[in-house]
Each structure stands twice: as structure tokens, then as C-alpha cells.
Amino acid sequence: MKFIPKPWLDFLFSHPLLNFLLMGACFLLFGFTSVNLFVLLKANIDLFLQYGLMVIEDGALEQLADLVGSAYLSVLFLVLFKIGERVLVERLTDERFGVKKGTQELPAVKRSAVRNKHGKRPGE
């Protein structure tokens, strides 16, 4: 399963300035959603450990769910930033997903022809 469809990646490759702006937005959103996340999550868990299940009535469980949701949203923004970073770096280095322009892929080698350093086939 691919996270980003190929036409979207092609669009990002052909519009480097827009890709850079999207990277900046995702970086800021990652920072915004992850500020004090660890401190708040630790405080919420400490509240549960100190007072037990009676803090659920005060909304601590809902707050815990919000904090976990914020953590996953933060991870999503980080992943989107990293995708943009990869597109930008590969565009700047003139490589596209590990394949250099102008090179051909090596032909597939039959498994039976592959031998280890001792001259034996795998499984012998």
C-alpha cells in the first residue's frame, strides 16, 4: 500500500516551490501539535496513577484521548514533512526514488545461478 498516490508525487516533483511551502507548513504544524505533548501526557498519566479511576469523572480520560490523538496528528505532519523533504532532496540531486536518470536496471539473475563465496548454491 502506498501512502501518497504517484500523481501527487509527480505534482510535488514538478512544483518545487509549492513542495517547499508545504514542507514549511507541515513543519510548523508538527511543532504546534507536539509542543509540551510529552509533559502533558506524563502529567495526565501521573494523575491516573495517583487518584485512580475516579479522575475519569473529571474528564481525564477525554484529555488522555485528546493527547494521544494530538500525538498521532503530530506524527502525520512529520511524515508529510519527510515525504516533502525526500522529494526536494531527490529533485536537487537529480535522483528519483533511488534510480538515476539515464541508467538501466540490471537484469534479474536466476536464483539457480547465484552461488555463495564457497561456490555452492543456496540450500546446498
71-122 pLDDT per residue, tens: 999 999 999 999 999 988 888 887 666 555 555 554 444 445 555 666 665 5
The end-to-end CA distance of the chain, in Å, is 36
Number of domains in the chain: 1
Residue 43: give the domain boundaries. Answer: 6-113
In a domain, 119, yes or no: no
In a domain, 120, yes or no: no
**Coil vs helix vs strand at 99:** strand
Read off the pLDDT of residues 62-79 as tens digits, 9 standing for 90 and up: 999 999 999 999 999 999
In a domain, 37, yes or no: yes
In a domain, 1, yes or no: no
In a domain, 68, yes or no: yes
Q: Percent of the chain scored above 90 by pLDDT?
A: 44
Read off the pLDDT of residues 23-33 as tens digits, 9 standing for 90 and up: 999 999 999 88
In a domain, 123, yes or no: no
In a domain, 70, yes or no: yes
Which among 77, 83, 88 is positioned nearest to 28, based on CA atoms?
Answer: 77
Q: Is the pTM of this model over 0.75?
A: no
Q: Could you tell me where the DSSP H helices lie in the chain? A: 6-14, 16-34, 37-51, 60-92
The overall average pLDDT reported for the chain is 81
Read off the pLDDT of residues 47-59 as tens digits, 9 standing for 90 and up: 999 998 889 888 9
In a domain, 118, yes or no: no
